[in-house]
Amino acid sequence: MSQYIFVRHGQSQYNAELTTNLDSNLTLFGEQQAIKTGIYLKNNFPDISEYVGITSPYHRCLQTSHIIHDICGLFFQVKPGPREVMMSYDECKVVNRKDKFGHFHWHHEEDFHFFNEDEIAFVSRMQSYILAEEHPKLLVVSHGSPIRAMYDAVIGNPVFPDLHNYPDNCSVSHVKDKQGVYFNHIPWKGKL
């Protein structure tokens, strides 16, 4: 029996078009979204402390995970697997922020340089990553298109890089025994 919770990061400066840096901070609104999401998780998943937390190394995901950690007591591992889709970008440098998020378990010491990937590489990366995680209860903080791909992979749907239909910032999707609720709460769009 496997259970998954997928959380898209809160609104970032990149999402709000305040920067072109893909590895940007959360906005104040994004921080508020993450707080509301942490409360939602704590209230709606009484077994949340039994989950293993995994987060993308991007700053906005680390910040979202940190807020969830503070509210739910969930500890996170930082892994590159659930990182952003790179089909629309040539390159992105993601700084190692172990000094700021030292309470997380880091699977790397160096900064990352991610490069453009095609559809086949993205689909392969997402399927192989999420299906290789062998935890009975997993919470992943990631990005819109990767969440959609991981969700589809664990429920047995075809996986493709959907760059237009993905969860809103801080939306929660969950799967239990290949039965899922995708994009199940979006109360933060536009207002809190």
Instruction: Report pLDDT for 93.
Output: 67
What whole-number distance in Å separates Cα of residue 51 and Cα of residue 135?
8
8 A C-beta contact, residue 34 and residue 64: yes
For residue 27, tell me if it sits in a domain: yes
For residue 191, tell me if it sits in a domain: no
For residue 113, tell me if it sits in a domain: yes
Instruction: Report pLDDT for 192.
Output: 44
For residue 78, tell me if it sits in a domain: yes
For residue 55, tell me if it sits in a domain: yes
What whole-number distance in Å separates Cα of residue 139 and Cα of residue 95?
23
Domain count, the chain: 1
Instruction: Report pLDDT for 184.
Output: 59
For residue 105, tell me if it sits in a domain: yes
CATH number at residue 172: 3.40.50.1240
DSSP string, 1-19: --EEEEEEPPPBTTTTTS-
For residue 192, tell me if it sits in a domain: no
For residue 133, tell me if it sits in a domain: yes
b/e per residue 97-119 (b: at least 16 CB within 10 A): beeebeebeeeeeeeeebeebee
Express each pLDDT in 119-163 by its tens digit. 788 788 778 888 888 889 999 999 888 888 889 999 999 887 777
Residues in the chain with pLDDT < 50? 188, 191-192
Domain housing 11: 3-185
141: β partners: 7, 55
Give the predicted TM-score (pTM) of the model. Answer: 0.87
